[in-house]
Homo-oligomer: A and B are copies of this chain.
Amino acid sequence: MKRNNNTLYAILGILTKGSQSGYDIRKQFNESLRYFWSESYGQIYPMLKEIVRHGYAEPLDANDPRKKIIYQLTAKGQAAFLSWLTEPVSPMNYRDELLLRISFATPHEDQIILSLLEREISELEFSLTSLQSQEHNLREKYQQEHYPTWFLTLRYGVVSTEARIEWCKEALHSLEARKGNLHDPF
């Protein structure tokens, strides 16, 4: 009855970038990956045990004063990762609370939706600023060289955020256009 097991592969993927501890892995999810993936401690530590049990990684000899445990991918783990990478991506189940609310709203709730959209725009613009500056920094760093593959994910952050902002504004305008104009058919 196993489902996708994305947590497993997400962790293996991180380990392909270098041996590290559960704590480090968590940080990656919370930093560079947070725009499109995250995992909590409650998932990571038990999964690391599983990973070792399956022989996908091994704990390096621990003589760390803080009892830090560094995990290193095995050949078997590398192979499992690569095989996952090749599989077709499973259909994403996207859930969007803002859209859900809008889909239920009638013209009587226009004011409420207007507020939600305004708040959304301001959050998206804040986030876009940061994404754009990261993009700018990377462009400077790599100049005429080829960008690393993950640069594409940053680009996605930028373009999808821009698109959502545009849509929010369009929505805002179309709701404002019918203000005071409520001989509504609902």
Contact = CB atoms under 8 A, between A and B. Distances in A.
Identify the interface centre among A97, A106, A162, A181: most chain B CB within 10 Å of its CB.
A97
Interface stretch (A63-71, A129-137, A144-152): A144-152
Interface stretch (A10-18, A19-27, A45-53, A54-62): A10-18
A40 to B, nearest CB: 11
A109 B92 contact: no
Give the most central of A99, A105, A113: most B CB within 10 Å: A99
A38 to B, nearest CB: 7
A143 interface: no
Nearest to A28: B103
Nearest to A185: B145
Identical chains bound together, number: 2
Interface of A: 6, 10, 13-14, 16-17, 32-33, 35-38, 81-82, 84-86, 88-90, 92-107, 109-110, 112-113, 116, 119-120, 145-150, 152-153, 155-156, 159-160, 162-164, 166-167, 170-171, 174-175, 177-178, 181, 184-186
A101 B85 contact: yes
Which of A88, A89, A103, A184: most chain B CB closer than 10 A?
A103
B163 A100 contact: no
A81 to B, nearest CB: 8
